[in-house]
Chains A and B, each alone.
Chain A
């Protein structure tokens, strides 16, 4: 029985099992913010950091506190509270440290607490019995994958808004969903690659 390596998990979380395109997590902010590249870059970065950090943090909380105390059934509450507290903390730190960064990311931070992708990554990490290293890899990969997807989407939508004629009913969310579906199809093309390692 061979343990999965750091990079296998990282790669599959970014490409073959992109948390947004295969699990539909984090769709709300994905559809709302992906109109332009700049905003989606900000949100993508913020989600990336928070996912990576809270997945690791929640691993520690789950396996060092909840499991020994036999309180596993409280994990939903604990995870979401950890995420909310972490987001609050980051907001405070950014505000003190860098004004420009706060300008860029600040408005997205409240959106993040209710981003399903982050809670989703934490729950998947627990269900899949990851070790700490694997959980870190998965958190990084899931965040990166989400950021990648939203930026690609924003790029496509920006071009689309310039030079194409879309049926009236499809404007806005409709066309975004079709693009997302096509992207999901494209990402499925990465499927065979993991086995090469």
Chain B
């Protein structure tokens, strides 16, 4: 029973409840690094780690948190997780850490992390909270990875640093720069929303 419930929670976060498509939430810190797939993957792993573990930790102590300092406690726990990610990257992946610069730290203010600790971790027992945090992170990550693939492919003709498109390909420099991120995300949102609307229209007709 609980297993199926958790599975449903997991699926919802990947599909219909995916925060990026529903409200375009939480793209702040990560969209900035989507011009290279490798960096995006690292950021996404960091984000999954942060959402999952801060959800778990907050859910464990949820009954003893004084209501008045709720926000502060959340921020403190999230910041702790992010520092762990930052230190880990610095120690084991120094090159990537150098490229990501301040963006790892900005996971703290990512709306998705905050939103899920607020909505789920403070109200549910540890296991569902962990599942929810993990799946929210995964749901968010696959979208950003798709975006990163598009941007890197069109912007540099390569994916994961491997040249895919031939020598005749002219790089769309705009894709690696800031506006490209906005446009690609807009197109994604458009496609997904359009897809969701089709069955509804058919039903009407």
Contact = CB atoms under 8 A, between A and B. Distances in A.
Interface string B21-34: 00111111101100
Interface stretch (B9-17, B130-138, B149-157, B189-197): B189-197
Interface residues of A, number: 47
A37 interface: no
Contacts, number: 132
A183 to B, nearest CB: 8
A177 B183 contact: yes
Interface string A165-197: 001111101111110111011001000000000
Of the listed residues B101, B109, B193, the one surrounded by the most CB atoms of chain A closer than 10 A to its CB is: B109
Summarize B's interface: helix, strand, loop or mixed. Answer: helix
A116 B29 CA distance: 7
A76 interface: yes
Interface string A104-115: 000000100111
Interface residues of B, number: 45
Interface string B161-197: 0000000000000100111111101100111111001
B108 interface: yes
A61 to B, nearest CB: 15
Nearest to B191: A169
B44 to A, nearest CB: 15
Contact of B75 (A32, A113, A176, A178): A113
Given A169-B197, A173-B189, A84 B71 contact: yes
A84 B69 CA distance: 11
B186 A177 contact: yes
A81 B28 contact: no
B174 to A, nearest CB: 8
Contact of B79 (A77, A115, A116, A127): A77
B35 to A, nearest CB: 11
A23 B181 CA distance: 10
B102 A181 contact: no
B83 interface: yes
Contact of A24 (B72, B82, B178): B178
B72 A84 contact: yes
A173 B87 CA distance: 35
A31 B24 contact: yes
Contacts of A21: 178
Interface of A: 21-28, 31-32, 73-77, 80-81, 84, 110, 113-116, 118-120, 123-124, 126-127, 167-171, 173-178, 180-182, 184-185, 188
22 contacts: A21-B178, A22-B178, A23-B32, A24-B178, A31-B23, A31-B24, A32-B23, A73-B83, A73-B86, A75-B105, A76-B82, A80-B79, A80-B109, A84-B75, A114-B109, A114-B114, A116-B28, A116-B106, A120-B29, A168-B193, A181-B180, A184-B178
Given A25-B29, A28-B25, A123-B105, 13 more contacts: A24-B32, A27-B31, A28-B28, A31-B24, A76-B108, A77-B83, A119-B109, A120-B106, A120-B109, A167-B194, A168-B197, A169-B191, A185-B179
Interface of B: 23-29, 31-32, 71-72, 75-76, 79-80, 82-83, 86-87, 101-102, 105-106, 108-111, 114, 174, 177-183, 185-186, 189-194, 197
